[in-house]
């Protein structure tokens, strides 16, 4: 009996040693940076598989139904505008509910917000009926303009325009503290509260010494694309067109190399922003001319508390000054001084009506990728180079064909030089 037990113990020891020697290297590296991040985020990742399954089902039903085909041009326009107006009402109601739950003077927010929640449910029911047909109409309108711009295959927009207005995941952007560079971009579940967002950011700072920021986004270029819920038709058309640009680019070298490095990501996002703004504006001009965005309207979020501040405060110039100084401080190894400076500048923006929750390295790593708008890129040459290629192109399609073959910043510089020689 003793020997049998001894043999059993020895077998267990041998098996344990085997797993330690052979299998243990495959176990999660508990000190690994990404493992720590995953541990902090836990179950807060966004589930794209579930969303995609529901979106494809909804798109399939809308395609089979084809209700928009039986509507006149005026009726189609009315459906889209009714949908956007209802969405705007929902957003306003949600804002009121958020104020109720954050007001320290209100002891019973559930009771106070109940009436608003009921109105939201009623408006959501209206949206669920309008959304399939409104989305189908918007897709056809954007596709029509794209075809006119030469993005067609056998008289069909290619790739086909497919989008879904939805609540979007938040994005967690992570950058080293010593430099502005996006090392992680992780999708988190929708609906995280501000305290939850701050907890994630501070946890990453303490656990892995990285700069982190949880941000809302306007769209995601999966297929069909995810588009933010908005009542602003100009913003909606820009976003739908922007995400379609990513679909087009994904069939070309530039899009295939999106994640190769930060420079390629910046080129991709800048190109998508250029196309999005141009196509979006032409959709509005053709189908909703009375709603054309006026040139005097700011491209950055306007101050919330005093409209007159917009004329006194140049957001892009102030932001560029901030970015350039931060780059200088980080280049000199003055990380803590750079972070203190960014917080002081954030308060400066806040005092001038721009409600920015946090400015840090991750903030610039994210917003700096959209380099067609000056400010957050500082003195980075990528944005001006892409814009130079657009300026030297005879059409939007010509620009996309040229830029689509770019696989490095060197390629982009060569394109700029070629345009100057023409």
pLDDT tens, position by position, 100-146: 876 778 888 888 888 989 999 999 999 999 999 999 999 999 999 99
Residue 58's contacts (CB-CB under 8 Å, 6 or more residues apart) are 132, 164
Q: Which of 110-114, 212-216, 264-268, 388-392 has the lowest mean pLDDT?
A: 110-114
pLDDT tens, position by position, 308-349: 555 578 888 899 999 999 999 999 999 999 999 999 999 999
**Computed from CA positions of residues 11, 15, 18, 20, in that sequence, does the dihedral angle turn out positive or negative?**
negative
**pLDDT of 56 above 90:** no
Do 272 and 403 contact (CB within 8 A), yes or no?
no
**pLDDT of 230 above 60:** yes
pLDDT, position 23:
36
pLDDT tens, position by position, 236-258: 999 999 999 999 999 999 999 99
Quote the mean pLDDT of the chain: 86
336: tokens are: 């803590």
Q: What is the pTM of this model?
A: 0.81
Give the highest mean pLDDT range of 69-78, 104-113, 291-300, 398-407.
Answer: 398-407
Q: Which of 45-59, 68-82, 293-307 has the lowest mean pLDDT?
A: 293-307
Q: How confident is the model at residue 170 (pLDDT cuts 50, 70, 90)?
A: very high
Q: Which of 59-63, 128-132, 198-202 has the lowest mean pLDDT?
A: 59-63
pLDDT, position 297:
46
**pLDDT of 76 above 70:** yes
DSSP state, residue 304? S
Work out the average pLDDT over 204-229: 92
Cβ count within 10 A of residue 203? 16
Cβ count within 10 A of residue 369? 24
Please tell me the distance from the alpha carbon of residue 135 to that of residue 275, in angstroms, as a whole number: 20
275: tokens are: 């196309």
**DSSP letters spanning 149-207:** TT-EETTEESSPP-EEEEPPPEEEEEEESSS----EEEEE-TT--HHHHHHHHHHHHHH
H or E stretch including 109? helix 109-148
């Amino acid at each position: 009996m003793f020997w049998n037990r001894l043999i059993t113990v020895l077998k267990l020891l041998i098996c344990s040693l085997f797993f330690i020697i052979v299998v243990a290297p495959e176990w999660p590296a508990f000190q690994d940076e990404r493992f720590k991040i995953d541990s902090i985020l836990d179950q807060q990742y966004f589930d794209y598989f579930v969303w995609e399954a529901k979106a494809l089902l909804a798109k399939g039903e809308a395609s089979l139904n084809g209700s928009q085909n039986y509507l006149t041009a005026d009726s189609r326009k009315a459906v889209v505008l009714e949908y956007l107006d209802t969405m705007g009402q929902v957003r306003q109601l949600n804002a009121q509910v958020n104020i109720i739950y954050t007001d320290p003077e209100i002891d019973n927010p559930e009771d106070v917000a109940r009436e608003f929640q009921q109105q939201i449910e009623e408006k959501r029911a209206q949206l669920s009926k309008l959304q399939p047909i409104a989305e189908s109409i918007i897709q056809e309108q954007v596709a029509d303009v794209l075809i006119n711009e030469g993005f067609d295959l056998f008289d069909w927009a290619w790739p086909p325009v497919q989008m879904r207005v939805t609540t979007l995941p938040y994005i967690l952007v992570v950058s080293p503290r010593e430099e502005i560079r996006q090392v992680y971009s992780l999708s988190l579940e929708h609906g995280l509260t501000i305290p939850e967002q701050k907890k994630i950011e501070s946890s990453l700072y303490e656990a892995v010494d990285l700069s982190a920021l949880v941000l809302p986004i306007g769209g995601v270029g999966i297929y069909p694309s995810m588009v933010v819920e908005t009542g602003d038709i100009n913003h909606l058309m820009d976003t739908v067109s922007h995400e379609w640009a990513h679909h087009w680019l994904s069939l070309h070298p530039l899009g295939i190399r999106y994640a190769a490095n930060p420079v390629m990501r910046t080129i991709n996002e800048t190109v998508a922003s250029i196309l999005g703004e141009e196509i979006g504006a032409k959709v509005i001009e053709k189908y909703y001319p009375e709603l054309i965005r006026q040139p005097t309207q700011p491209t950055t979020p306007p101050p919330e508390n005093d409209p007159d501040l917009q004329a006194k405060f140049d957001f892009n110039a102030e932001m560029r000054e901030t970015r350039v100084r931060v780059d200088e401080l980080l280049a000199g190894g003055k990380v803590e001084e750079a972070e203190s400076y960014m917080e002081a500048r954030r308060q400066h923006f806040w005092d001038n009506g721009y409600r920015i929750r946090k400015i840090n390295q991750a903030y610039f790593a994210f917003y700096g990728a959209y380099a067609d708008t000056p400010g957050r890129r500082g003195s980075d040459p990528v944005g001006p180079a892409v814009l130079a290629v657009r300026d030297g192109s005879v059409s939007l399609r010509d620009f996309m064909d040229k830029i689509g073959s770019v696989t490095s910043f060197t390629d982009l510089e060569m394109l700029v030089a070629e345009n100057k020689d023409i």
